[in-house]
Each structure stands twice: as structure tokens, then as C-alpha cells.
Structure 1
Amino acid sequence: MEYIDSFVEAGSQILTSMAQLECNMREPYFIDNELNAENVVIMVGVTGELKGHAMLSMNEGLAKGIASKMMMGMPVETLDDMAKSALSELTNMVMGTTATKLEGKGLSIDITPPSLMTGERLSVSNDAIKTVCIPIETDLGDINFNVSIKNK
């Protein structure tokens, strides 16, 4: 939990500035065992002094709305390659900003390229590391920013 503030600040900053979303960051909480995700998940691995992963989870309608905002209002009817690229880049920016904030606290991390997954009833299991969920209410819908990290 001691590093979660960096993730919260980065998520709020990037979602507000790059996706033009009004964000209300809710109280983080722990998730035990399996995480039942929405039908769009973008995951980024974390390496270096911290290890694990972080992911944004949202429903498809919200994902389309965010992609549209990132593409200057262009209508997004389906999650095509362009929309998926926009969502992946958004997650990359959130995690890059998180890495910068952690660097300011004396922690060096690297991030992997984002992986975007879609489907019904997605679940992620991670028994080795507890997951912290940062619920984010936006004007387009809710996002769960799930962080599973541990010290090296």
C-alpha cells in the first residue's frame, strides 16, 4: 500500500489530461485471490525494484468512449486496431507517469508494453501477490485500476 499513492496520482493525472475524463478516485481496497474483470483489460508488467503488474479494467462502452476522446472525438463503433492502440497508449502513459513518480521516491521500475484483452467473464488469478483495486468513477463510467506489486 505504501506505493499506491503514485499509481493513484498518475491515474488521475493522465485520465484527466489525456482522455478528458472527470475522475473521482475512490478508496483503494484489497482483492483476495481471483479478480473478475470487466470485458476490456489493459495490463502492463512492472519490473525493477518492484515486481508485478497493473491493469485497467472497464466495460466495452467506456473503452469506446475513452478511445473516441483520445482520437479527438472521432466516433468509435468497435474496438478496432486504432481504438485498441489508443487504450494501450493511455495505459502506457499512466504507467510511465507512475514510474516517474516512484523514481522521485527513490524507486526504479521499468514497465512492459501493454497487453489488451477483451472477452466475457475475464478473470485474473495472482496468488503470489495481493491486488489493490483503485476504483475510479468517471463521467463515462467506472474503471478499476488494479495493482499487484511487491518489493524485489
Structure 2
Amino acid sequence: MKVNHVNAVCRAAKGILSSHFGLDVEYKTPVAGANAIPSNDVSVVLGVNGEVNGQIVCAINEQTAKNIVGMMMGGMTIEKLDDMYWSAIQEFGNWVAGSTATELSKENCLIDVTPPMVNDGQSNYRSSEQFITVPLASSLGLIDIHISLYQKAS
């Protein structure tokens, strides 16, 4: 995994939180992990294909999900996540995906991102590839960005 690819994903996620929500975002200490990563209560899974392949998983707790959806809905207080709100979380994943593609293109790396898939409930994702987890802290809560991107074999 290349540092510039990981940094591009981090810039993308931080940029969404800053530009769309006007938040100050702080990077917490990254952690390298292998084989299993936690989904937290809610996660958005994005597949990456192109000059690099892999996955990006945005994992959050339920309150952070409600906070994100509330901001997307103009500052509403969200009591329960229903179908409309799950759609909003999926759209948040689309924002991260689009921004990631833009940031990677600045690194001369062209990719396509699969439509986001939302996971409801705690579980572990398992992979044979290593993940780097970069936690992002903001007033909405903590977002764990799990990144596993590998250069396509030539």
C-alpha cells in the first residue's frame, strides 16, 4: 500500500467533513491491521477498481451516523435510522467515493469506485489484505476510515 494513496483517501474524507459540514477534523493515530477490521454500528463499504484495487470502509457508531444524517438533513435531530436515513448514509459514502477518485487522480491514479454498500450492526470484515485505519475526530463523532488499496499487478 502506498502512502500517497492512503493520504489521498484521508484528504477526501476530511475534505467532505470540512467542505460539506463546515467541521474541524483532527486525524488520530493510524493503526495497521490485518485480516479483520470492525464495522462499528454502521459502516459504508466502497470497492475500488482501476490502477489500484481494494476497499475503503467508513465505520461509525450509531450516534455518529445520526449526527451525520442530521447535518445532511439541515441540522435535524435524528431519533431513529429508517430507510430514508440509510439512504443518506449511503449518499455520504458516495461523497467520500467521488472525492477519493478526485484526490487519487491528483496522484496520477485513475480509479472507479463501486456503489456504496451500508452495513447495519457490528461485525468484522475479513480480508487477506492489510488495512490501515485512520480515525477522524470531529464534533459529529469519530469516523474510522479503513483503507486497503494495492497497486494493480502489471
For the aligned pair, the TM-score class normalised by the smaller chain equals: over 0.9
CA offset digits 1:31-55 (Å, max 9, x no partner): 1221122110110100011111101
Report deviation, 1:19: 3.3
The residue aligned with 2:53 is 51
Contact 2:39 2:119 in 1 (8 A): no
- Match of 1:64, SS? helix
Contact 1:31 1:131 in 2 (8 A): yes
For residues 86 and 19 of structure 1, the distance between their equivalents in structure 2, rounded to whole angstroms, comes to 14
Report deviation, 1:140: 2.6
The residue aligned with 2:143 is 143
For residues 18 and 60 of structure 1, the distance between their equivalents in structure 2, rounded to whole angstroms, comes to 20
For residues 105 and 131 of structure 1, the distance between their equivalents in structure 2, rounded to whole angstroms, comes to 20
The residue aligned with 2:74 is 72
* Residue identity matched to 1:108: L
Give the 5 Å matches for 1:1-152: 1-2=2-3, 3-120=5-122, 122-127=123-128, 129-152=129-152
- Match of 2:45, SS? strand
CA offset digits 1:97-148 (Å, max 9, x no partner): 111111122111000000001113x100011x21010111111321100011
Contact 1:26 1:136 in 2 (8 A): yes
* Residue identity matched to 1:124: Y
CA offset digits 1:5-38 (Å, max 9, x no partner): 1011111110122234331112322112211221
For residues 82 and 40 of structure 2, the distance between their equivalents in structure 1, rounded to whole angstroms, comes to 18
The root-mean-square deviation of aligned C-alpha atoms, in Å, is 1.3
Contact 1:43 1:115 in 2 (8 A): yes
Percent of residue pairs identical: 33
TM-score (norm 1): 0.92
TM-score (norm 2): 0.91
For residues 137 and 125 of structure 1, the distance between their equivalents in structure 2, rounded to whole angstroms, comes to 25
Runs of 4 or more consecutive aligned structure 1 residues displaced over 6 Å after TM superposition:
none
Contact 1:45 1:112 in 2 (8 A): yes
Report deviation, 1:95: 1.7
